[in-house]
Amino acid sequence: MSFIKINNHYNILNYIIFLLSIIFYYRSLKGCSGEFLICAGKHQVRFFIKRAFDLLISIFLFSISILFQIILKLSKINFLIYIITYSLLFYYNQGTDFFLHGTYNCMFFIFIFPICFLYIYLFYLFAYFIYFRKNKNIFFFSILILIHIIIYSYIFKCDKFDVGLGGVKIDNDLNNNACKIIKPQKCGLNILDGLFDVSKVFIKNNCIGYSNQQSIFQKYLNNRKKNQKKYSFPRTENLDIKKTFHNLDIFVEKNIEVINSNNTKDNEIFVNFDNNGKGQIEINLKKNLSLIKSRNELTKKNSVKFNNVYIIYIDGISRNHFLRKLKKTSKLIEKMLHSNKNKEKKYQKFNSFQFLKYHIFNDHSFGNNLPLIYGNYMDKETGISMTKFFKEKGFITASTFNSCNREIFDWDKNYKNFIFTGWDHENFAMFCDTNFIDKKEIWSITKGKNSVLRKCLYGKDSFEYEFEYILQFLEAYKNERKFFKIGFGDAHEGTLEVIKYIDEPLAKFLEIILNKYYDDKTAIFILSDHGAHIPGFHDIFFYKEKTIEKHLATLFIILPENNHNYNKTAITINQQRLITPFDIHDTLLDMINVEKKNYHEMIDKGQSLFKEINGLKRSCKNYDNHIPDDICFCK
C-alpha cells in the first residue's frame, strides 16, 4: 500500500469533496472587509443569508469528507491534513461575528493553505521513506520526534523576549512589583523576521513611479475639476463628526481645490501633475504671524515645565518588534539611555528612558488612544483633547498621520461627544488621495494603511511627506512653544515587515531634531497604541507570542539632562513599573502644569511618570476590568 493512495479513486473523490468544501468556505468570505463597514447596505439580510448558505454547504461537504475517511478507511495522512486544515481555517476566523469574515481570511486562504499542505506532506513523506519503509519499529520514529523537539526548543527559546536596550532586563522581582511580565513558551518571530517582505519583489527602486497617476487621482473629482495641473488638499477643522462619521475621504473629495496663480489662499499641501500625468507633492507650511502673536500672549500668562513636546506615534508596533525592526532608531535611543554611563559626548545632554512594562488596554487603537489623548476610557461618553490644553498654554500645534483619518475615533459615531480640538497646522487630507487608498476598499491588503506593500504615494514613501511637513513646522516656529504629533501607519499590516522601511529615515529625523530643534525644555515621546494585530502567517505558529507582544506596546521618552523639572530617580524606577496610556496622559499634563482636578471629564487612573509609582500597588486590577485577566500579561 503506497504512502499516499494516489491511485485509489475513493481518495481522489474524497479529495474533490474536501476541495469543494474549501471553495464554499472561500465564497463565504466574500463581502465585508472590516468591522467598521456595513455590508451590502439595504441588502444586508440577503447578503448574510448567502454567506451563511455558503458556510453551511462548506461544513456539510467537509462532514461528508470525514465520514468517507472513517467508513472507507482511507488514507490516514489525508485525514490528518483535512482535519488540521479545516481546524486552522475556523480557528483563524477574524470576523466580528459568525457571518462577518474579511479580507485577511482571503489572504490566509490564498497564501497559507498551500504552505500548510506542503509542510505536512513533506514531513510525513520524509518520516516514511527514511524510517518506516526500512524500519517498522516505532523506536526510530520516536527518535525522529525527539530530535525535532530538541531542535525546536533551541531555535524558539525566549532568552531575549524580556531584554530591552542596553541589555536591561525586565525586573520581575515581586518584592518590588505586583506586576510580573509573562513570557511566551516559544518565541519564533525573530526566526521569521524578513521572510515575508513582499515589497522586495513588488516595489522596485524604492517607491519611484508607484501610486502616481493623475487618472487615479481624478476618481475624486467632478468633471469641472478634471484635467487640471495643480490641486490643493483641504484642512479638516470644518469636518463635524457630531453629524457624520467615517467621512474624511468624502470631505476631502468635496473640498479639493483647483489652484491657479490667483487663488492659493492658505493652502499648504499641493499635488502638481505634469503633461504625462505624473504627480508631485509640494509642501509649503506658512508661518502664521497672527497666531504667534496670540499664543505669545498666552505664553506670558502660563508657566510650563517644557516649551516643546514632540510625540512620534507608530500604529501597531510592540516594544519587542520596535527593537526587532527599527534597529538604527533603537541604537540611537540606546546611545542616550540614562543608565548609559559611557555616552558619546554629543549625546550627554540627552536622557532616554525605556518603559519595559508599558501595557495597553486592548488590541485596537480606540481603547488606547482615548485614554492617552482624551484622558478617559473608550466606554465613557466624553473627553477633552490634549491639543486643547497645549493651545491654552501658548503652544503652536501641528499633526500629520499617513492614514485617511484625522483622529482615530473619527471612524466611529460612538465617540462624537469627545471634544476634538483642531491643530494649527495639519497634514491629513493628502492620505485620502485615491493613489494612496481605495475609498471603496479601505481594508485592502495591497493599498493604503493596511497594505502589505510599502505605503507609496507619488513616487515616495508616504512617511517622507510627514517628515518634511514637521521639519517645516519646526523651522517656521523656532522661537515659539511647540507641540506636534507625527503618526505612522506603516506597521498596520500582516507581514510585520513594512515598518522596517521607516527605520533609517526615522533615525535621521530624530538626529535632525536633536541637533537643531532641541533644548533644555524639550521632550520627545516615541510610542505606539498596541503591537501587531493584523492577521498574518505568524499567528499560525506563534499566536501566543504575538498576542503577548500586542499588549506590551512601545514607550520611550527622551528628556534633557539639564532640566530639573523632572525627577530622574522617579522616572528611572518607573521604567520597571506597570505603565498605561493614562500615565502618558498625566505626564503630558504635568509638563504644562494642568491640574486634572479642574476637569470632571478626566478620571483618576494615571500618574505623572515624573513621580514614583508604587509598584506593589499597581496591577491590572487597578483599571476597572478594562485589562481583564485574559489580556493581562502583567500577572
Kindly calculate the radius of gyration of the chain based on its CA atoms and give it in whole angstroms: 27
Torsion of CA 143, 148, 149, 154, to 10 degrees: 130
Please name the residues in contact with 494: beta carbons below 8 A apart, sequence gap of 6 or more: 104, 107, 445, 450, 452, 532, 534, 535, 536, 537
What are the grid coordinates assigned to 214, written together?
Answer: 493623475
Residue type, position 97, single letter: D
Task: Say yes or no: 233 and 119 in one domain.
Answer: no
Coarse DSSP helix, strand, coil percentages of the chain, rounded to the nearest 5 percent:
45, 10, 45
Determine contact, residues 112/86, Cβ cutoff 8 Å: no
d(CA 90, CA 93) in angstroms, rounded, equals 5
- 188 three-class SS: coil
Is there a domain that residue 247 lies in? Answer: yes
Residue 298: DSSP 8-state: H
Along the chain (635 residues), what's the average pLDDT of each consecutive run of 10 residues?
Answer: 48 79 75 41 59 78 79 70 70 42 46 52 57 54 60 74 94 89 87 85 87 85 73 81 63 82 74 92 95 97 97 96 96 95 92 97 87 85 88 97 79 66 92 86 80 94 97 97 97 94 97 96 97 85 89 97 92 96 96 84 85 93 86 89
The DSSP element (H or E) to which 584 belongs, if any, is helix 581-591
Cα distances from 133 to residues 80, 128, 138, 141, 413, in angstroms, run 20, 6, 12, 11, 64
What pLDDT does 427 receive?
Answer: 95
- Indicate whether 431 belongs to any domain: yes
Q: Are 327 and 503 in contact (CB under 8 A)?
A: yes
Whether residues 140 and 63 fall in one domain: yes
Q: Does one domain contain both 625 and 550?
A: yes
Q: State whether 401 and 518 are in the same domain.
A: yes
- Do 411 and 478 lie in one domain? The reply is yes
In the three-class reduction of DSSP (H, G, I as helix; E, B as strand; rest coil), residue 351 is classed as strand
> What is the spatial distance between Cα 553 and Cα 560, in angstroms, rounded to a whole number?
24
Three-state SS at 273: strand
Distance CA 246, CA 249 (A): 8
- For the chain, the domain total comes to 2
Q: What is the side-by-side order of every strand in the sheet holding 269-273?
A: 257-258, 230-232, 269-273, 279-283
Q: Which residues contact 302 (CB under 8 A, 6 or more apart)?
A: 392, 393, 394, 592, 593
Q: In the 8-state DSSP scheme, what is residue 562?
A: T
Question: Are 133 and 257 part of one and the same domain?
Answer: no
Among residues 531, 611, 626, the alpha carbon closest in space to that of 570 is found at: 611
| pLDDT at 29 (0 to 100) | 64
What is the Cα–Cα distance from 102 to 29, expressed in whole angstroms?
6
Smallest CA-to-CA distance from 554 within 349, 342, 333 is with 333
Q: Do 145 and 208 lie in a common domain? A: no
* pLDDT score, position 135: 52
SS3 label, residue 258 = strand
Identify the CA nearest to 313 among candidates 555, 551, 522: 555
CB-CB neighbours of 628 under 10 Å: 11
User: How far is C-alpha 343 from the geometric centre of its chain's CA atoms?
Assistant: 32
38/30 Cα distance (integer angstroms): 13
E-assigned strand segments in 152-238 = 230-232
Q: Would you state the pLDDT for residue 417?
A: 67
Do 251 and 146 have their domain in common? no
- 138 with 204, same domain: the answer is no
Q: Is the dihedral of CA 187, 190, 191, 196 positive or negative?
A: positive
Q: What is the pLDDT of residue 384?
A: 87
462 sits in which H/E element:
helix 462-476
Buried b (16+ CB within 10 A) or exposed e, 464-480: bbbbbbbbbbbebbeeb
Non-local CB neighbours of 430 within 8 Å, separated by 6+ positions:
233, 269, 271, 281, 436, 457, 465
Q: Which amino acid type is present at position 451?
A: S
* 325: in domain: no
Query: CA–CA separation, 30 vs 33, rounded Å?
Result: 8
DSSP character at residue 379: T
* Cell numbers that stand for 580 in this block: 498605561
**Residues 356 and 441 placed together within one structural domain of the fold:** yes
Whole-Å CA distances, 631 to 151, 172, 220 = 30, 18, 42
Q: Does 568 lie in the same domain as 450?
A: yes
Q: Are 545 and 189 in contact (CB under 8 A)?
A: yes
Q: Which of 101, 134, 155 is the last residue of a domain?
A: 155
Q: Which pLDDT score is estimated for 156?
A: 75
- Dmax over CA atoms of the chain, in Å, equals 90
Q: What is the residue-wise DSSP string for 52-81?
A: HHHHHHHHHHHHHHHHHHHHTT--HHHHHH
Residues 6+ apart with CB under 8 A from 30: 51, 54
Q: Which of 105, 512, 554, 149 is nearest to 312 (CA)?
A: 554
All residues at 6 or more sequence positions from 567 whose CB lies less than 8 Å from its CB, including other chains: 610, 611, 612
Residues 487, 402 contacting (CB under 8 angstroms): yes
Structural domain contains residue 461: yes
- As given in the structure block, the three cell numbers for residue 55 are 458556510
C-alpha cell at 330: 533603537
β-pairing verdict for 522-528 and 555-560:
antiparallel
Round to whole Å and give the CA distance between 76 and 67: 13
Q: Which residue range forms the structural domain that includes residue 475? A: 200-316+347-631
Q: Please give the single-letter amino acid code of residue 210.
A: Y
Q: Is the CB of residue 313 less than 8 Å from the CB of residue 529?
A: yes
Q: What is the CATH number of the domain that holds 500?
A: 3.40.720.10
**Does any domain span residue 305?**
yes
With respect to residue 117, please indicate whether it lies within any of the assigned structural domains.
Answer: yes
- Examine residue 323 and state whether it is found in any structural domain, yes or no: no
Q: Is the pTM of this model over 0.85?
A: no
Q: Are residues 552 and 474 in the same domain?
A: yes
Q: Is residue 166 part of a domain?
A: no
Rounded CA-CA distance 181/577 in Å is 10
What's the pLDDT at 3? 40
Instruction: Cell numbers for 579, please give them.
Output: 505603565
**Closest Cα to residue 581, out of 615, 609, 542, 543?**
609
